[in-house]
Amino acid sequence: MQPSAAERRPRSFDRVLSSMCTEPHPAARRAAERFLASNPGDPATYGTIAELEREAVAALAEITGLAHTLGGDAADVSSHGYVTAGGTESNIQAVRSARERADVVDPVVVAPDSAHFSFHKAASVLGVELRTVPTDGDGRVDVDAVAAAIDDAALVVAVAGSTEYGRVDPIPALADLAVDADVPLHVDAAWGGFHLPFSGHDWGFAVDGVETVTIDPHKVGRAAVPAGGLLARDPATLDALAVDTPYLETASQASLTGTRSGAGVASAVAATDALWPDGYRREHERAMELATWFADELRGRGLGVVDPELPLVAFDLPRATFEGLRERGWRLSRTGADEARVVVMPHVTRESLSAFLDDLDELR
């Protein structure tokens, strides 16, 4: 007989190597449990979680450099973003706002072919054309191809930490193009956003022309699922998303979903309180060191490896070995080009990667 839902255990992260979710920080777990039934979508009823959402947005504004551009005016930061259900909602909303504000008959969104599939959902749901442009041999968008495609665009998308290779597009160059063409630039840092403040890249609101950013606390931020983030330089971005909410005691709502997760919001605040900036910096350094070591180990075994720019390692692996590793319980996934990919998330350790390499050696 199947155990009941209450008796079942979630999968352990021990052998999970390809997920962008991870073990929540202990403080995030506790906060999530306290706010399981609070709805940030109804702030006039659930005041505490609404206040926590302002704190979450303030923390994300710090991390993405928005707070700095606002001159530290954190009091007003809630008109610049909200806690979404994840990267998909944030990306859909960035596209939706750009579509509303562009006010053209056939809106076009220009995005690299490395962009997450959530942009395909956005295009389908919103009836916009997704014009994909190629990436170069190293997985970053071809800036000349963007220049050739940008003229009639409602939005240009850059990826800061691509899902398959962890690559960061040349955001300053894309922002220059966007400013010249008077088109907003959206940066998808859903996964990369908690690494990038420490990696030396120019990526967030410090770059003129970056108008919106996706950054997910429920990935490297170590909040509970679901906790995504959408941030905007200009409050008009959120205004364009707002609809009237006649039966609530607040006038309007900019989020895509109605009822939202109080657990996600509260845990995002708890995780960022505990980890920003030093904890995230330490994790970035640990994960990069581990990714570099792992890449060297794979190269030492004669496997082709994509050099990690952020802590994500893609590498050549024969299909039979890949299947053998999956059978041994390793949760590993493949890129579109058929490489294996390992995302060095906070739960991935030197010990787990060494055990993985032992299994790999046995199977080859």
- DSSP sequence for 333-352: EE-TTS-EEEE--TT--HHH
Report the Cα 312 to chain-centroid distance in Å: 14
- Closer residue to ligand PLP (CB): 181 or 283: 283
Query: Which residue intervals of the chain are DSSP H helices?
Result: 26-34, 47-63, 66-69, 87-102, 118-126, 143-149, 171-181, 235-239, 262-275, 278-300, 319-327, 350-363
Among 24, 43, 65, 87, binds ligand PLP (CB under 6 A): 87
- Closer residue to ligand PLP (CB): 119 or 181: 119
Query: How many CB atoms neighbour CB 347 within 10 A?
Result: 16
Question: Which residues, numbered 126-185, are part of the site for ligand PLP (CB under 6 A)?
Answer: 159, 163
Query: Applying CB under 6 A, does 86 fall inside the site for ligand PLP?
Result: yes
Q: Shortest Cβ distance from residue 12 to ligand PLP (Å)?
A: 21
Unique residue bearing structure tokens 């980890």? 275
Q: Shortest Cβ distance from residue 275 to ligand PLP (Å)?
A: 19
Query: Applying CB under 6 A, does 216 fall inside the site for ligand PLP?
Result: yes
Query: Applying CB under 6 A, does 188 fall inside the site for ligand PLP?
Result: yes
- Closer residue to ligand PLP (CB): 181 or 230: 230
Question: Which residues, numbered 218-277, are part of the site for ligand PLP (CB under 6 A)?
Answer: 228
Phi, psi of 130 (to 5 degrees): -95, 110
Query: Applying CB under 6 A, does 22 fall inside the site for ligand PLP?
Result: no
- Closer residue to ligand PLP (CB): 38 or 90: 90
Structure tokens at 232: 């905007």
Query: Applying CB under 6 A, does 113 fall inside the site for ligand PLP?
Result: no
Please give the size of the binding site for ligand PLP, defined by CB under 6 A. Answer: 14
Q: Shortest Cβ distance from residue 44 to ligand PLP (Å)?
A: 28
Instruction: Say if CB 68 and CB 293 are below 8 A apart.
Output: no
- Closer residue to ligand PLP (CB): 159 or 173: 159
- Closer residue to ligand PLP (CB): 43 or 193: 193
Distance, in Å, from the CA atom of 120 to the CA atom of 114, rounded to the nearest integer, reads 12
Query: Applying CB under 6 A, does 191 fall inside the site for ligand PLP?
Result: yes
Query: Applying CB under 6 A, does 309 fall inside the site for ligand PLP?
Result: no
- Closer residue to ligand PLP (CB): 94 or 266: 94
Query: Applying CB under 6 A, does 116 fall inside the site for ligand PLP?
Result: yes
- Closer residue to ligand PLP (CB): 118 or 261: 118
Unique residue bearing structure tokens 């039979």? 320
Query: What residues does 68 pair with on adjacent strands?
Result: none
- Closer residue to ligand PLP (CB): 65 or 228: 228
Structure tokens at 256: 């895509």
Query: Applying CB under 6 A, does 88 fall inside the site for ligand PLP?
Result: yes
- Closer residue to ligand PLP (CB): 204 or 228: 228
Evaluated on CA atoms 98, 99, 104, 107, the torsion sign reads positive
Residues 6+ apart with CB under 8 A from 269: 31, 52, 55, 56, 59
Order of all β-strands in the sheet with 333-334: 305-306, 312-315, 340-343, 333-334
Q: Shortest Cβ distance from residue 19 to ligand PLP (Å)?
A: 9
Angle at 90 between CA 228 and CA 315, to 5 degrees: 75
198: left (phi over 0), alpha (psi -120 to 50) or beta: alpha
Q: Which of 78, 131, 84, 141 is CA-nearest to residue 107?
A: 131
Q: Which of the ranges 82-90, 100-108, 131-139, 267-275 carries the binding residues for ligand PLP, by CB under 6 A?
A: 82-90
Query: Applying CB under 6 A, does 283 fall inside the site for ligand PLP?
Result: no
Query: Applying CB under 6 A, does 201 fall inside the site for ligand PLP?
Result: no
Query: Applying CB under 6 A, does 118 fall inside the site for ligand PLP?
Result: yes
Q: Shortest Cβ distance from residue 339 to ligand PLP (Å)?
A: 16
Pairing of strands 312-315, 305-306: antiparallel
Binding site for ligand PLP (CB under 6 A): 20, 86-88, 91, 116, 118, 159, 163, 188, 190-191, 216, 228
